[in-house]
Amino acid sequence: MAKGRIVIDVERCKGCQLCIEACPQDVLDLADDLNSKGYRPVVLLDPEHDCTGCALCATVCPDGCITVYRDIPQSRREKAHA
Amino acid sequence: MPKELLKGNVAFAEAAIRAGCQAYFGYPITPQTELLEHMSSRMIELGRTFLQAESEVAAVNMVYGAASAGVRVMTSSSSPGISLMQEGFSYIAGSEVPAVVVDVMRGGPGLGNIQPSQGDYNQVTKTAGHGDFHPIVLAPSTIQEGIDLTVLAFDLAEKYRTLVFVVADGALGQMMEPAELPPMRETAPDRPAWALTGAGGREKNLISSIFLGADKLERLNQKLQAKLAEIAASEIRYEEFFVDDAELVLVAFGTAARVAKSAVQALRREGVPVGLFRPISLWPFPEERLYEISEQAKGFLVVEMNAGQMLQDVRAVVGRRYPVEFYGRMGGAIPMPEEIDGAINDALAKLDDSENKVPLEAGNGNVRNHV
Amino acid sequence: MVTLETTFDPTVETVVYERPESLADVHTHYCPGCTHGTAHRLVAEVLDELGLRERTILVAAVGCSVFSYNYFDVDACEAAHGRAPAMATGIKRVNPDNIVFTYQGDGDLASIGAAEIVHAAARGEKITVIFINNAIYGMTGGQMAPTTLIGQKTTSSPFGRDAALAGKPIQMAELLAQLPGTVYSVRRSLHDARHVIQAKKAIRTAFQAQVQGLGFSMVELLSSCPTNWGMTPAEALDWIRDNMIPTFSLGDFKVAPELESKKRRR
């Protein structure tokens, strides 16, 4: 299975949890702390490296907080950039 | 250019075209529909933009859009349509985009009739929409003047980034007179830097009239007021006719002024000391000159085709020190010279009776309306 | 014996999704979970992918999205309530090479602006309309909209919308599809990832209709209003699926031949 990871802009996140609902791998959860707006942002909790970089979280995120990375075989990446 | 016999509405339209108007959006309403119709053929012939909108509401918002894109744009309507457009006027004024509006006034209130009137004076000079603003308001009294003021309107609109009205009445819109049209001006090739043209290669532009914070909106209003002060200082226009030695000065604009002029001319031939002060800019109103005249005159007679709207502005200037009489017709009726004659005689008689300086009570109309 | 030859093909960590450039780098004022944000994001992604940002002009409307001009890096203007299609008409007619789009809610488009949207579509104005249908008036605090469902409680239909009193909801995508100048009128939903992806495709097609100069294009997006519906963001998305779709069916109501997808539809 592909490996991936995401980065969430915690200051932009409003803690709506739609990404948590969307994530098929259950690697997202609300942080314990608040951001400067007073929201509990969502964070990636992925000790087992279950994130596949499917980007469903980013697809549903209303605030465009999420950047998604995926490990792609070099050959396919080069083809994509050609 | 040679003189041609022109219908008022057509002349205003063609004048706008010669002035470089690039877009026209309007809606049919009597008595200005010929303006729209003339635009519908000429603008298309010239490859410019014409659209008959679905309503005056839509038309003024199309004007707002095109003005935001930085083109010379106008609309035209008549009293009930002007009411519909008022929301748009306010947005145009608040967002400081230039636009020209021709209002060919008709009898009101309500659906009224299609006869000529001057009943929109307050509506257009006081604000023409909600909030603190004034359009520049120009009032021709001949078709030639209408042509010249329409061309001027576009220049003033662009110079000050504001709304400019040319107000006529149904008579002026419908009548035909010989007049000279100016030569065709080039349409401006470039758009102003503030216009909406696509943000490629620069910061994005925003045309808006919303400022949620009170401090921001107050600052906008201060800026608008400063602009209005600048306009008031520089754009006053009026005409005087036999005013220098007049004891009774008539004050009138538009078609009413033409009729008043005839009455004054006839009475002058008999040696009666009357004159006519004709504001051409209704806003800014020529207060200073009117006040100067009041130092040597003994009284005023305002003649309008409404219940006494400019009357209030005249009274505000000359205060309670001078009698200001009024003669008006409403509902689309145009006064005849004989009627003005009668009113002048009554007013002069009053001046002789009193030792002048009769204070007028507030709200005491002295309105004479002959049915 | 079969030998498999394998070549060494290492993986490289690659960005597969990042925030679109056409979206301004500011925080929005929208409520947590409000699908306005999702819709904005999709439009921005499409503008990026089609390379339209630099020639796009947004006509913002009145509603919660009144500040949409702050959220896109494009030239923009603020129209009066309901008048965005007329303002867009004025702009597009004098700027035919610009991509002009309006972004309107259900009050703006289906109530006060009903005349303007109908006529823009009838004339085939070459503009694109993004219509956010959340069955309520959000900005003013949750009143009934022309799209409010029968029985739905709002602050101005406290006993639930009663058809005898207030009529039934208006289906704008179907209505506008009837008009001669419409080349694309569809309804999509934003209630889950699958539908968000399909919504994006529709938005892309709508902008392509304008790029190709075909006529009036509109995408109606079933959207949520968690705050005024009194639900969590996730509950609100389910409410769209369970309650709005039966009244506002998803589908394509007008698609010009030039825009038809080559794909087989299930």
pLDDT of amino acid C4? 62
Across chain A, which has 82 residues, the per-10-residue mean pLDDT values are: 91 98 97 96 95 97 97 78 46
The CATH number of whichever domain residue C114 belongs to comes to 3.40.50.970
pTM of the model: 0.91
pLDDT of amino acid B364? 35
pLDDT of amino acid C87? 98
Q: Which residues of chain B have a pLDDT value below 70?
A: 320, 354-371
- Are B3-198+205-234 and B239-353 in the same CATH fold? yes
Which residues from A are below 8 Å from C23, CB to CB?
Answer: 64
Task: Give one DSSP letter per residue of B193-233, joined into a string.
Answer: TTS-S--TTSPPPEE-----SHHHHHHHHHHHHHHHHHHHH
- Interatomic CA distance for residues B71 and B73, integer angstroms: 6
Tell me if A62 and C37 make a contact (CB, 8 A cut-off). yes
The answer for residues whose C-beta is within 8 angstroms of residue B353's C-beta and 6 or more apart is: none
Burial group, residue C97, by CB count within 10 angstroms (0-12, 13-18, 19+): exposed
The answer for residues whose C-beta is within 8 angstroms of residue B368's C-beta and 6 or more apart is: B326, B327, B328, B343
pLDDT of amino acid B330? 87
Task: Using alpha carbons, select from B346, B229, B321 the residue that is nearest to residue B284.
Answer: B229
pLDDT of amino acid A14? 98
Touching subunits for chain B (3+ Cβ pairs under 8 A)? C
pLDDT of amino acid B1? 78
The SS3 call for residue B191 is coil
Tell me if B88 and C69 make a contact (CB, 8 A cut-off). no
Of all residues in chain B, what percent are helix, strand and coil, respectively (each to 5)? Answer: 40, 20, 40
Domain segments of chain B as ranges: 3-198+205-234, 239-353
What residues of chain B, 3 to 22, have a C-beta less than 8 Å from chain C?
A: 22
Domain B239-353 sits in CATH at: 3.40.50.920
Instruction: Tell me the per-residue pLDDT of B283-330, one tens digit each, with 9 for 90 and over.
Output: 999 999 999 999 899 999 999 999 999 999 999 999 767 789 999 998
Q: Which residues of chain C have a pLDDT value below 70?
A: 1-6, 262-266
What residues of chain A, 38 to 77, have a C-beta less than 8 Å from chain C?
A: 39, 53, 55-56, 58-75, 77
Domain presence at residue C18:
no
- Interatomic CA distance for residues C79 and A21, integer angstroms: 36
pLDDT of amino acid B360? 40
Domain presence at residue C224:
yes
For the domain made up of A4-81, the CATH class stated in words is alpha beta
Domain segments of chain A as ranges: 4-81
Distance to chain B for C78, nearest Cα, Å: 5
C240 near A CB under 8 A = no
pLDDT of amino acid B355? 53
Homologous superfamily of B3-198+205-234? Thiamin diphosphate (ThDP)-binding fold, Pyr/PP domains (3.40.50.970)
pLDDT of amino acid B321? 73
pLDDT of amino acid B322? 78
Tell me if A63 and C17 make a contact (CB, 8 A cut-off). no
Cα dihedral value B32, B175, B286, B323, nearest 10: -110
Tell me if A16 and C32 make a contact (CB, 8 A cut-off). yes
pLDDT of amino acid B323? 82
Which residues from B are below 8 Å from C123, CB to CB?
Answer: 51
